[in-house]
Structure formats: structure tokens, C-alpha cells
């Protein structure tokens, strides 16, 4: 038996990875205790997605409701499957910088201590297995806001003469900046993943994501930008845009595109790599542009309002420079753009949203 361990297996990226690698013939050990419901409430629960995985994949999916902060529980699991573990994909997290300020200790223990538990379990029992960590562009804090940005009709854009016009590279400093407490806990995890790679010569990679999205996202107010926006548009739920005139830009990468990037690394792993990963110049939008796209899909105007105060540490403009990853894995390319992503989110979820009555 060849096993892939996936944390956060019922979440957006975890479930996409579960489906993908099960189809490749691997047995999947999914670790997920539905902490998303604890963080964001019943609407954000991933139970529906776990049940869908169990029904569609069957015996090739083994679910474990283990908290990644449970050191002994994680160690025992890895010891049980040690010789069979081919790959670890770590997607479990407290993912919201707004929520982190409510309970910094839980945020840090989930994001940093949980990652340390998984790394140490990997080192002890399967150090040859690639370890893929879903990091975040929030490790750069609000440093991107110091770039020379130009206000346009529907978005902010970087000065086209700037070196980062094609996107922000991994060379951007993570120092002297406001990260948010969430960003700080993810920095700690990110650096740990790098250090285990370098110090113990383990194949590890930090994928610093822009907006990760797709139809399996249990979008909620504090996390899941495009999925929650489309849900609000469809159900005519009020939505608030915070700051920057609604022209803040995000690059958005479909979960399938990200998992294919994970697979590329798995096929040819490297030691202690770091990659900015997102929609890049191929797939990005401002808030205003995303709202317009949602309205076109659902066929009516959204009920949205504007609040002048931006979220602390929030980016005005983020587009990932994908060139480092593409130089290492030239066969990989993005397949989805924002309009395609939004249409798929709508088509996949509209019936479920209606049945939930929310």
C-alpha cells in the first residue's frame, strides 16, 4: 500500500488533493476534525465535503478526526503507516487574519505547533517523503503596499515600469512589516518547513498562495473570498467591501491548478523550496471586478456596501510571480481564470445553497 497523508482533507485544497491522488492509485489518510466550523460557525463546516469524499472514493479514503495539535496522536498515526507514506500534503490551518486576533493562542498553536508536529512525525518515520505545506502570501505582511501603485477605474495596478510588473517574487522581504497575527503564525510554520528541509535534508516545499479557490470551498465571511462572494450574490445576502475603494487586487488560483503544481513537486522533489503560487497575471481581479462578474452570472445586482476602513495588514495589490516555480517545472501551467472559477463555483453549489436555506 502506498499512502498520501493529507491534513485538512475535507477543506478546499485538501479535498481536491484527496480526489486527485486517489485517482492516481494512492490510499488517502485524511486528517480533518472540522475546525473550520469552530472558527467560522456551522455555515463553514466541511462535513458535507467529507461525506462526499467518503461516498465517491470509498475504501481508498480513511478519515481520521485528529487535531494536528495532538502531538501523540499525530506521531502514532505516522508510526502506523511509516513505510507506506509516499507524500504529506499539509493544508490544515486557521486561515483568517481577522479571526486570529480573537484568539492568538489557538491561531498560533494550530498553524505553527501543528505544523511542527507534522514535520517531526515526518522526520521520525518517513523523512524521504516529500512534505508540501500550503503557506500564504501573508508571510510578506503589508510590504506589497509600498509598491508604486496607480489607481485605475476598477482596480489598483503597479507602475508598469516596475520590476514586479509581472508579479511579486519570493525575494520580497518578510521583515519590517505588519503581517497580522495569522501572517505571523504562518511565517513561523513556513520557516519551520524550510528549516526541516535544510537541516535534515528533507524534500519540503512552501507554496505561498494568493487566493486559493474553487467549487469545494466552504466560503464564509472571514475566509473564502470568491466562494463567499458568489454565495452572497446568489442568495442576495448583504456583502461588505473593506477599504481601498473596492479596487484591491487579488490573484486567484483554482484548487485543481494548485494540486497539479503539488504533483509536479512530488514527481521531482527538491530540498527546502519556496514558491509564490497564485493566479498570476493569468487570473486576477479587483473586488469591484469580481462583484461585476458575480452579478453577470446570477443575473441580478448584488446587495453590497462599502466600509472605508481596510482590514489591518491587508494587501492593496497582489499578483504572484510564478516564474520560479515554472522554471523548475516548465510543463505546469494555469488552466483556469477568474470568470471560469466563478462560473464553476456557482454551478457546483447553487442547489446546495438553496437546500441549506442560508
Q: In the prediction, which pLDDT does 220 show?
A: 61
Q: How crowded is the C-beta side of 252, counted as CA atoms within 13 Å?
A: 27
The predicted model gives 101-108 an average pLDDT of 96
Which regions of 71-162 does DSSP assign to beta strands (E)?
85-90, 131-136, 149-151, 156-158
Q: What is the pLDDT of residues 178-219, one digit of tens each?
A: 999 999 999 999 999 999 999 999 999 999 998 999 887 766
Q: What is the pLDDT of residues 258-302, one digit of tens each?
A: 999 999 999 999 999 999 999 999 999 999 999 999 999 999 999
Residue 40 has pLDDT above 90, yes or no: no
Q: Per the structure block, which three cell numbers stand in for 109?
A: 498553536
Q: What is the pLDDT of residues 73-91, one digit of tens each?
A: 999 999 999 999 999 999 9
Residue 56 has pLDDT above 80, yes or no: yes
CB of 283 within 8 A of CB of 338? Answer: yes
The predicted model gives 101-116 an average pLDDT of 97
Residue in the block written with cell 442576495: 236
Residue 65 has pLDDT above 70, yes or no: yes
Least confident of 143-147, 307-311, 334-338: 307-311
pTM value is 0.94
Residue 358 has pLDDT above 70, yes or no: no
The predicted model gives 346-350 an average pLDDT of 92
Which residue in 225, 240, 220 sits closest to 342, CA to CA?
225
Q: 351: part of which helix (H) or strand (E)? A: helix 338-356
Q: Buried b vs exposed e over 183-198: b needs ≥16 C-beta within 10 Å?
A: bbbbbbbbbbbbebbe
- 243 phi and psi angles, rounded to 5 deg: 75, 175
Query: What's 11's DSSP letter?
Result: S
Distance CA 233, CA 355 (A): 16
CB of 34 within 8 A of CB of 46? Answer: yes
Distance CA 211, CA 186 (A): 15
The strand pairing partners of 317, in sequence order, are 249
Q: What is the pLDDT of residues 223-247, one digit of tens each?
A: 667 889 999 999 999 999 999 999 9
Per the structure, the complete domain to which residue 140 belongs is given by 3-356
Distance CA 116, CA 31 (A): 15
Largest Cα–Cα distance of the chain, in whole Å? 57
Calculate the average pLDDT of the chain: 94
Query: What's 113's DSSP letter?
Result: I
Q: Write the DSSP string, 220-257.
A: BTTB-HHHHHHHHHHHT--EEEESGGG--EEEEEEHHH
CB of 258 within 8 A of CB of 209? Answer: yes
Assign residue 156 the CATH number of its domain: 3.40.50.720
Domain count, the chain: 1
Q: In the prediction, which pLDDT does 215 show?
A: 85
Amino acid at each position: 500500500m502506498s499512502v498520501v497523508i493529507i491534513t485538512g482533507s475535507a477543506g478546499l485544497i485538501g479535498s481536491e488533493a484527496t480526489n486527485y491522488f486517489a485517482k492516481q492509485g494512492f490510499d488517502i489518510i485524511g486528517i480533518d476534525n472540522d475546525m473550520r466550523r469552530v472558527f467560522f460557525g456551522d455555515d463553514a463546516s466541511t462535513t458535507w465535503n467529507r461525506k462526499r469524499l467518503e461516498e465517491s472514493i470509498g475504501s481508498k479514503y480513511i478519515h481520521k478526526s485528529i487535531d494536528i495539535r495532538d502531538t501523540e496522536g499525530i506521531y502514532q498515526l505516522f508510526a502506523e503507516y511509516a513505510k507506506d507514506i509516499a507524500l504529506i500534503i499539509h493544508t490544515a490551518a486557521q486561515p483568517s487574519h481577522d479571526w486570529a486576533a480573537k484568539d492568538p493562542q489557538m491561531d498560533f498553536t494550530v498553524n505553527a505547533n501543528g505544523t511542527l508536529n507534522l514535520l517531526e512525525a515526518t522526520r521520525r518515520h518517513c523523512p524521504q517523503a516529500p512534505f508540501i505545506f500550503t503557506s500564504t502570501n501573508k508571510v510578506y505582511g503589508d510590504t506589497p503596499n509600498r509598491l508604486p501603485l496607480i489607481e485605475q477605474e476598477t482596480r489598483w495596478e503597479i507602475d508598469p515600469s516596475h520590476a514586479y510588473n509581472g508579479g511579486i517574487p519570493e525575494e520580497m522581504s518578510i521583515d519590517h512589516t505588519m503581517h497580522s497575527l495569522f501572517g505571523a503564525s504562518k511565517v513561523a510554520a513556513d520557516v519551520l518547513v524550510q528549516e526541516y528541509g535544510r537541516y535534515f535534508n528533507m524534500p519540503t516545499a512552501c507554496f505561498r498562495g494568493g487566493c486559493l479557490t474553487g467549487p469545494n470551498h466552504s466560503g464564509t465571511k472571514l475566509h473564502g473570498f470568491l466562494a463567499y462572494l458568489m454565495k452572497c450574490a446568489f442568495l442576495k445576502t448583504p456583502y461588505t467591501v473593506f477599504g481601498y475603494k473596492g479596487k484591491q487586487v487579488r490573484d486567484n488560483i483554482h484548487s485543481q491548478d494548485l494540486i497539479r503544481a503539488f504533483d509536479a513537486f512530488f514527481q521531482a522533489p527538491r530540498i527546502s523550496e519556496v514558491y509564490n503560487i497564485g493566479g498570476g497575471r493569468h487570473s486576477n481581479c479587483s473586488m469591484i471586478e469580481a462583484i461585476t462578474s458575480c452579478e453577470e452570472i446570477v443575473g441580478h445586482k448584488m446587495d453590497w456596501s462599502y466600509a472605508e476602513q481596510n482590514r489591518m495588514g491587508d494587501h492593496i495589490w497582489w499578483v504572484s510571480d510564478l516564474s520560479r516555480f515554472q522554471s523548475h517545472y516548465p510543463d505546469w501551467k494555469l488552466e483556469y481564470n477568474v470568470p471560469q472559477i466563478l462560473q464553476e463555483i456557482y454551478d457546483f453549489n447553487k442547489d446546495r445553497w438553496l437546500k441549506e436555506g442560508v
